[in-house]
Structure 1
């Protein structure tokens, strides 16, 4: 089993490491130079070591020390200069680079602050357990930006804007009433837009492709003036356990997580700042500072839960206005089992279910079945499987009233002001970056992957 061991305590022999960090002065140019020097010293040490899986105990210690000392300087630098850096990257808040572009620009503009494109491309050659863990530095940068009331608010609003791909597809969607993306189908029926997840071999689990497609799909629904209500539903799957059945979502694709294909910036953070936040707060169509509530387009959303909504699937339900579930469905946030943080689920679940039930779900892994007494905290309706379509149509008709959109926006602002979301996500950026490389997480995803491979081999031997 390939797992990444925890960094051991320093050995009695003093490891060769970078020079002790020089305290920063508070002057941006001087501090940027010292940051670049410290980062370069750490990189020289890492370059002299073998790749992660081939490192000895002493080599792992040397790598951990190099990372820790460089990160200490980055932390000090960001504590002093985050707003200055963000101002440089956005030309004084006049441009709105989306999160991946912002992080890449930071690597170019402030050497040593975050990994370069080349360093991140090199990481893609490895499974999660064998990576250097450079995304941790991206997480610290994103967290520092989000902690800033000025820079963080600007970034949150930037990510609430429409994606370039949605703007390219909008005229076609308006004309034809449907768009087929790689992993999502969007179709307008009257004034209701249906967004269907399609990752059939993985029980509609979220991977990087599906998240990008959902960001585009949600934008199209919000931008089309003829649409009054949006519906989220999982398509049918061809997974052996549920072949031919609809499944809402199996959450994060743990195979892709194990294989190192769940990027922190492009998936774990962009998902929360992008389409999930748009479901709740709407689409920012007018970023001018003087504009008021008309800057946002918001619409009611319905969730149709077939079979189950696990992890990220359950997180989506916490942003929606009406949830219909079939009688046999259940929801869960298996954060304790997986070892990672369930997005903004910790922020939103408590206000919906109460603190005690939220702890049972997040910390204890409790499932909530549609027939449980507590189901009313998650579902609005529970119906037989053959009545799902009818229930969705009935809910859509009820939510299409003109005043619904305005009132659901005011409810969202009361329940979760953008600055409240921003401060939560700042800490999420730090925590999720660390958890994605924690030894217990790497061990769990590896064991799950090996068990899945054993089951697949067993099925193959029977055919």
Structure 2
């Protein structure tokens, strides 16, 4: 029997997780088992008394602190074991799954996550916080973090499987994105018509697939993202860029930390900035990634995640009556990498007004020109789009774009931000104020199909 087997209190647990890796992993497993047993003995979260909630939270906090202490010491050793000395490139979901198998109690298992995701957000234990702790340490490591970023920049298996079809036909239909190549332009049309292009796990998967295809196809010189025409009654026939995170899906427990919140930022949005990691040894000495310039068009609005997305584009065109917003304070979650990228576009004061106070930026006001490159009446948008994609084609654009992005956003600074984001966003997902707010938005949109009050309450759109 090891010392970890006779652990009797928090102080001994803390000493054990700082010991050698073998003893430490056993201590984490035992502590997690004790917490799981305690939670199982209590009523389900929605039926607990205030005292029982306090008991559960105290146990969870103690175990979260123990996991964090373990990773303070052992992150690089854990990552090396999971990736076989960094010879395997595992994406965030794959890495979390491998960690659950190799280090019991460190992060939730697939079975635990499946059980949680079948529940409304308010009825969960908050097991994704374990993942937030894990990814905070992995991304924060100067050894493991860059390796994980590289893994996330690789093309997805789904995209590689579809690439021959796209190269031959110039068209791929995905559930929420339509991809068409005309000339040297890859046109990504967001086509979740009934929900105002609200974002969920499926949309993130589709967007990453489409971005990969556009980057991997040598016939493509520039990418274009635009909202499709909506069927929602309030916006029927109008193009909508995005209403942000699908709050009904979040309320119902269907938004994942790994498959949505982290994959979105480290996957396709980061690929818009950096490109897709190349395996072509003949050209990799010149650039590790295949990059393309990107244009976005906002015909009506870009809310929450839609507005976040614009910050990664090289050129943004908006209709004169469009607007942008990041209503993070209304929903209580962190708006992706906007807190990192927005300040360099509009400055610290305006960033706080937008993120903390919910200020909308209308395309018609002067400050919109800090976020939007061109503003046109609706009838002139199509011509402006074609002019923009033509200007951005050419090898000199790629070289200068690469240097601009490197100067504006160093990989290490981005990685440090995402390390803290992983933890703080996982905590926000289970915060009482967030659960109350998304529940209110969902109730307001009952009988509708969209996200938040963008689609349901008759009020103006609001997505995270």
Q: Following the alignment from structure 1 to structure 2, what is the Cα–Cα distance between the partners of residues 455 and 197?
A: 19
1:198 CA displacement:
1.3
- Matches for 1:336-347 after TM superposition, within 5 Å: 336-347=329-340
Residue 209 (structure 1) aligns with: 202
- Matches for 1:24-173 after TM superposition, within 5 Å: 24=16, 25-173=18-166
3-state DSSP of counterpart to 1:294: coil
Tell me if structure 2 keeps the 8 A contact 1:248–1:306.
yes
Residue 6 (structure 1) aligns with: none
3-state DSSP of counterpart to 1:309: strand
Deviates more, 1:50-59 or 1:279-288: 279-288
Task: List per-residue Cα deviations over 1:143-198 (Å, max 9, x = no partner).
Answer: 11000011001001110110000000001000000000111100000000100111
- Matches for 1:6-25 after TM superposition, within 5 Å: 19-22=9-12, 23-24=15-16, 25=18
1:409 CA displacement:
1.1
Q: Following the alignment from structure 1 to structure 2, what is the Cα–Cα distance between the partners of residues 37 and 453?
A: 43
3-state DSSP of counterpart to 1:324: strand
Task: List per-residue Cα deviations over 1:54-97 (Å, max 9, x = no partner).
Answer: 11122212211211111121011000000000000100000001
Q: Following the alignment from structure 2 to structure 1, what is the Cα–Cα distance between the partners of residues 393 and 10?
A: 63
Q: Following the alignment from structure 1 to structure 2, what is the Cα–Cα distance between the partners of residues 229 and 398?
A: 10
Q: 2:424 aligns with which of 431, 440, 447?
A: 431
1:371 maps to 2:361: no
1:244 CA displacement:
1.3
3-state DSSP of counterpart to 1:304: strand
1:291 CA displacement:
4.8
1:415 maps to 2:408: yes
CA distance 1:100–1:367, change in 2 (3 Å): same
Q: Following the alignment from structure 1 to structure 2, what is the Cα–Cα distance between the partners of residues 94 and 20?
A: 36
Tell me if structure 2 keeps the 8 A contact 1:330–1:369.
yes
**TM-score normalized by the length of structure 2:** 0.92
1:272 maps to 2:265: yes
Residue 5 (structure 1) aligns with: none
- Matches for 1:233-272 after TM superposition, within 5 Å: 233-272=226-265
1:362 maps to 2:355: yes
- 5+ residue gaps, structure 2, are 1-7, 450-454, 457-464
1:200 maps to 2:216: no
RMSD of the TM alignment (CA)? Answer: 1.6
Deviates more, 1:260-269 or 1:59-68: 59-68
1:232 CA displacement:
0.5
Q: Following the alignment from structure 1 to structure 2, what is the Cα–Cα distance between the partners of residues 216 and 376?
A: 31
1:21 CA displacement:
4.8
CA distance 1:400–1:384, change in 2 (3 Å): same
1:299 CA displacement:
0.6
Q: Following the alignment from structure 2 to structure 1, what is the Cα–Cα distance between the partners of residues 286 and 323?
A: 36
1:329 maps to 2:322: yes
- The number of aligned residues is 440
1:298 maps to 2:300: no
Q: Following the alignment from structure 2 to structure 1, what is the Cα–Cα distance between the partners of residues 280 and 360?
A: 40
Q: 2:307 aligns with which of 296, 302, 314?
A: 314
- 5+ residue gaps, structure 1, are 1-17
CA distance 1:295–1:273, change in 2 (3 Å): same
Q: Following the alignment from structure 1 to structure 2, what is the Cα–Cα distance between the partners of residues 422 and 292?
A: 23
CA distance 1:449–1:337, change in 2 (3 Å): same
CA distance 1:97–1:454, change in 2 (3 Å): closer
3-state DSSP of counterpart to 1:149: coil
Task: List per-residue Cα deviations over 1:2-44 (Å, max 9, x = no partner).
Answer: xxxxxxxxxxxxxxxx843522243110111111111111111
> Which stretches of structure 1, 4 residues or longer, exceed 3 Å deviation after superposition?
290-293
Q: Following the alignment from structure 1 to structure 2, what is the Cα–Cα distance between the partners of residues 73 and 291?
A: 42
Tell me if structure 1 keeps the 8 A contact 2:278–2:284.
no
Q: Following the alignment from structure 1 to structure 2, what is the Cα–Cα distance between the partners of residues 312 and 133?
A: 23
Q: Following the alignment from structure 1 to structure 2, what is the Cα–Cα distance between the partners of residues 176 and 135?
A: 41
Tell me if structure 2 keeps the 8 A contact 1:298–1:406.
no
